[in-house]
Amino acid sequence: MLQPKRVKYRKVHRGRLKGSAQKGAPDHWVAVVKRGKILFELADVKENVASEAARLASYKLPISTSFVKRERQKVEG
């Protein structure tokens, strides 16, 4: 079986290549948000309080947001 001459590609050394972050504190978090993704869901809150909370939270986000309200369906029976 052909193998490269460099040692870093061998299976024996696979565990040694992975490093761990031990210095400093994380200052940024990254998440991929695609169109149509629900970021926050609120329950048991009045609609005016929820829309105000969503409006204030949208100023902190680097993407455009919209407030979506789910209509409750009546159960027949």
pTM of the model: 0.50
Q: 27-63 burial, b for 16+ CB within 10 Å, e for fewer?
A: eeeeeeeeeeeeeeeeeeeeeeebeeebeeeeeeeee
- Residue 46: the pLDDT is 92
Residue 16 resides in a domain: no
Token pair for 16: 């040694």
Residue 8 resides in a domain: no
Provide the pLDDT confidence category of residue 9 given band limits of 50, 70 and 90: low
Residue 40 resides in a domain: yes
Instruction: Convert the pLDDT of each residue in 17-74 to its tens digit.
Output: 556 656 667 777 788 888 888 888 888 899 999 999 989 988 998 888 888 888 877 7
- Structurally, the chain folds into a number of domains equal to 1
Residue 63 resides in a domain: yes
